Structures are given as C-alpha cells and as structure tokens.
Amino acid sequence: MTAWSKLLVATTRLIDLHDSAHEPGSPFIQVTQEQRRGLRDGYWLDLGCLLLDYLLEMDFATNSAFVTQGRCLAHLRTAYPAHYGELSPDDLGFVINLLATPSELHFRQPGDAEARRQRSTKRTALIEKQGQTGQVRLTASGRQAVTLAGQVEDLLYSEYDAAKVLAALARGDFARIPDITNQILLAIRGLTQELRRVRENPTREGKLAALLDNQRHYHHALSTIQQTLLDARAQLVSPQLGERFAAWCEAQPDGEAWDLRVLSGAIGRVLTAIENLSRRLAELLADIAEGRIQSMGVVDFTDLARGLLAAPPAAALRDALVARLMPRPPRVAMPRPVSLIPLLESRRAEVSHAALVFDAEPGAAPEDPLLARFLEARGPALKARLARAPLALPEALAEGWHRFEEGDCLAQLLNTFVDTALLDARLRVGIEPQPFEVTLEDGRVIRGEVTPSLRLASAPLDVVSPSAATAKDEC
C-alpha cells in the first residue's frame, strides 16, 4: 500500500459517516457492507494521486506557480507504460475538474459548555485551476493532503523524532514531550502489529521480504532511539533541569498540574515498547533462519473446501479426519443455519412480492377464533370470580374453567395466565412456591414446580385462596 492508500484507509469510514443519512436517535444501528459505485479498478484514484504528487514537486520547484496541463500530461504518461494505452487528455481533464470542484463539508466545533456549534466549509478543492488558461496548482488543502499522505508513520525515521525530545528539554518546551513520545510509540506499535501479522501469514503482501531487507536498519533505528531516550531520561534527574522545570510549572495556567514523573513515564513507555519490538523481531528472524516460518501461515478453509470437492482425499485420510472432527457419540448431523440464511433470503426475495406489515390495524379479527369465543363467553364470569378471590391454576381446573362448548379449552385458559392483557388490563399473576399435580377427566396429568395464580389489581391483598393460605402456612 502506498502512502496515499494508507491515508485513504484511515479516512474513508469518516467520509461515510459524513455522508450517512441515518436518522439521529434511530434504534436501527446495524450497518451493512455497502457497494461503492464506480469502476472499482483504482484507475481514477491512482491518476489523481500521481497528479497531486507531481504538483507538489512543481510547487517546490516553481515557488507555487501555475503549471500547464500539458506538462502534467507528459509526466503522467511516464507512469503508464504503452501496453496500458496512451493516457487521454480527457481523462486528465476529468480528474483536474473533479479535484478543482469544492464539496461542502459539515462539522461541529466546540463552543460553549452547553452545545457544539455547527460549521461548514467549502475549502475542499485540492487543485486550483485558472479559468482562462486552464493551468493548475495545489490549493492549501491540496498541499496539506499531500503532506499528510507523506507523513505515514515509519520506524526507520522515528530516530529523528527521538532527537526532538532532547531539543524540547533544551528549549524548556516540556509540554511537547508526551506528544513526541506518543508519535514514536505509534510507529513502534505499528511495526509490532506488522510482525504479528507476518507470523500469522508469511505471504502477506510481501511484507516478509521487506522486513528481511530492512532488519539491519530497524535494529539500528531501535538502538538509536533507545540511546537517545536514555540520555533524555538521565537529564530529568539533573538539578539544573529540575529548577527550569519548576519555573516552567509556575508559569502554567491554574489547574494544569505537571510533574517530572509524567515525562519520565512517557519516555519509559517507549523504552518498554522498544524492548518488546526487539524481542519479536529477533524471534521472527530466528524462525526464518530455522525454517519454521513456512508452517505458521493462516489456513484458507475456503480453498481447502474447494480442493476437497475437486479431489477427495484417500479413504484412510477421510476416516481419520471425520473421526477427529465429529462429536462423540454422533447422534445427529445438522447443517449450520447461518450459512444457509443468505441462500434462503435470496430465494424468498425471488418468489415473494408481498411486503410484511407488522402494524396490526385496530379492530382486526383475532387469529384464534376459539380463544376469542372463549374470552367473550367466559371472560365476564371469570373476572367476577377473580373479583371475589384470587384463582390458582389447580382451582381453575377443579372448577372447570377449561371446559367450553362441550370441548376442551385448556390451552386458552393457560393463555390467560401467560398474557394477562387478554382478560383484563388490571390482571396480575402471582407465583406460589408450592408444586401441584392435577389429573383431568381424560387422564391427562398436569404438573408444576410452582403454582401460578391470577388476581385483579383492585382486589385486596389480604384476600387469598385456601390453597394459597395453606402454602403460606406450610412455608
């Protein structure tokens, strides 16, 4: 990846946030992987980055003078060999017009203590184009973008950042030291993550070869940074620097407390990270020298599955693999449903043209007509019974509330104990710590570890059923 690619990787999702039409406060927080429009071959992006790099070179050479598009075209044609086709002036004109057209950026900046003020800017054009001649040059935003792209953190050049710590100590600019050490720490952690990825996948983007070529330079940079920071930490204990630091602290605004231990801790974190990185680099080089790095890659199970489909393994190998992977004892084998969901959704989208509506209309007919008839016929009498005393489930079965229309409505009666809003909004469910067992006329046996009971909220709390009183006395 080039420096421009790393800059875009770090900012693409922020641009997606800026362009998002998501409603604030919406409960739908899942984000899908969107398909970006365009050719998706990197041609226009590569052309624009090459143009910006060339304009920065010309900005230094000509002292920010305008450059003709002909010179830009002649330079960019050297980046594209003849077998790619000659670079068209229209392609360059399109890139220039796009980079020279500003786009409004909306943001918020800190205001008073209560709110953040909304602001916007249109200074997003990276190229300035003359209207008459068509000559171009970098704008201030374009110059800043090229500079940021070139300042990608690299440990090989962080030794010069370590020297800034000594310069800050000499100048008495103590507030800059934590920022400088954090910049060095980011570069060290970046290389540490690259080493970890190389150990997991040795073929990753040729990074292994780059580490082998630069390992001597990495060791030299680490030793230089370590020695420089050790010298800086030694200066922190000198009496002269302590006096200058005390005077600097007194000149700081009220509320900002500084201590030399803050500076020493910032330097110490970098030294610890250097030791960890040196150990990881030494382990990686030892693995490469002994040939162990070739067996440390990540297995691509997709390619492995394709290979097994194309050429099945031998019977002995297959039996050994199944014996190792199958559960013991294998009772049932079911496919993983997650892998089938995309297929099922696409099939349903192809054959179904009806939209699902989850908002029920007021007054709609209930889905269970038997439950509706049961509540309409037995509901008033059941509420009158509950108004006198709470009703436990065994008592309801003994009193025959589950019999209706010369049939059995046991499921409908149980619904009133689960969904209390079916019978009355004031209905409440209580749980008594007493098991029960009821045998119905047809021989069915209903058991429960606890006994549920219904009562109306307006009923007095001291009115309980006989079974509930018995349960309380037994407890």
Annotate 411-473 with three-state secondary structure: HHHHHHHHCHHHCCCCEEEEEECCCEEEECCCCCEEEECCEEEEEECCCCCCCCCHHHHHHHH
Rounded to 5 degrees, what are φ and ψ at 450?
Answer: -130, 165
Q: Of 48-52, 250-254, 292-296, which one has max mean pLDDT?
A: 48-52
Strand duo 427-432 + 407-408: pairing: unpaired
| pLDDT for residue 82 | 55
Q: Of 93-107, 188-202, 206-220, 245-259, which one has max mean pLDDT?
A: 93-107
Q: Which helix H or strand E contains 115, and what residues bound it?
A: none
pLDDT greater than 50 at residue 409:
yes
Write down the mean pLDDT value for the chain.
76
Mean pLDDT of 31-49: 81
Collect contacts of 116-124 with beta carbons under 8 A, ≥24 apart. Answer: none
Q: Which helix H or strand E contains 161, and what residues bound it?
A: helix 159-171
Tokens (6 digits) for 233: 């930490």
Q: Is the pTM of this model over 0.85?
A: no
CB of 129 within 8 A of CB of 135? yes
Rounded to 5 degrees, what are φ and ψ at 335?
Answer: -70, 150
Q: Of 15-19, 183-187, 212-216, 226-230, which one has max mean pLDDT?
A: 226-230
Tell me the sheet residues that pair with 358: none
Rounded to 5 degrees, what are φ and ψ at 385?
Answer: -65, -40
What lies within 8 Å, CB to CB, of 421 at 6+ separation is: 427
> What span, in angstroms and rounded, lies between the C-alpha atoms of 119 and 125?
17
pLDDT digits (tens, 9 = 90+) for 415-452: 777 777 777 778 888 888 788 888 877 778 888 888 88
3-class DSSP state for residue 277? Answer: helix
pLDDT digits (tens, 9 = 90+) for 85-123: 678 889 999 999 999 999 988 888 776 555 677 888 888
> What span, in angstroms and rounded, lies between the C-alpha atoms of 82 and 97?
25
Label residue 348 by pLDDT band (50, 70, 90): very low
What lies within 8 Å, CB to CB, of 149 at 6+ separation is: 3, 4, 6, 7, 49
Mean pLDDT of 380-408: 81
